Structure 1
């Protein structure tokens, strides 16, 4: 049985529209004190890891979505390059609800902080590669990588389309 492909229209990201999934962080004035506009991090379950990763072109199609239950994760592109990310809100279920998966267009002048347990697929982009900075725990990709295979679970894959 062939799986179906559903289109997700990626909306421009704002702090308000992204709030169910985490935070959008834009530049602040030098010397500004810590407050709610700063990334509210949860990295107390291990050793934080801040690194740059080069991601090769993934295109805009995905059939797996992942969450991390032990930490927040921050992602931002280098060189001001825009990108796309699909997300679904955190929850207790073993997989996200299909109708809660949404997508965002993320400009290169901000970064996102994914709340603990936020389902995410991406970053997605059409260029050959983009370098991203990533803040998570040192072992996130080994021990805190809960993935839902959308084809096996729902017989569906998604393609993200920018607005």
Structure 2
């Protein structure tokens, strides 16, 4: 007997540094000449060759049934052209499954970027625009050797939709 996939809504909260702290860092503009401190992205890219690139995503919507984590590096994401976007996250772990009780969604404006901690589960970027270009900082082989995905539909009969609160 096949179970029907249940659609659950995740209310996106506006991102703040404090709310995002269990998952990573919110990085916002600072004045030129500011000395390096804890408000700068605390990067871990020591396990390979860093890769900084622009990825073009089209018509992503806000539904997801998979979530991924990287255990060898931090990852930074931000949109270009000031476009807002959404991401689903669960706290870092080495577990083969994310903690469903701690799954959250954030609405991210186009004037900042996020740094995901090593091991943070993430689904996205998602957005309502037709096309969004994102800059992405990770390792050159992250999506080949450091890409652990949990399929909610297969394992939990779940799909999520990010909604605005």
Matches within 5 A, 1:4-83: 4-83=6-85
8 Å Cα contact 2:60/2:127 also seen in 1: yes
Cross-structure match for 1:119: 121
Aligned structure 1 segments of 4 or more residues deviating by more than 2 angstroms: none
**CA–CA distance in structure 2, aligned partners of residues 49 and 140 of structure 1:** 9
Once residues 62 and 99 of structure 1 are traced to their aligned partners in structure 2, the CA distance between those partners, rounded to angstroms, is 17
Paired residue for 2:106?
Answer: 104
CA shift at 1:101, angstroms? 0.7
Following the alignment from structure 2 to structure 1, what is the Cα–Cα distance between the partners of residues 59 and 138? 22
Shift of residue 92, structure 1, vs aligned partner: 2.8
Question: For 2:136, which of 121, 134, 137 is the aligned residue?
Answer: 134
RMSD over aligned CA atoms reads 0.6
User: Is the contact made by 2:12 and 2:106 (CA closer than 8 Å) also made in structure 1?
Assistant: yes
Instruction: Tell me the TM-score normalized by structure 2.
Output: 0.97
Q: How many residues align?
A: 163
Q: Which whole-Å deviations, capped at 9, do the CAs of 1:36-94 have from their partners, x for residues lacking one? A: 00000000000000011101111100000000000000000000000000000012321
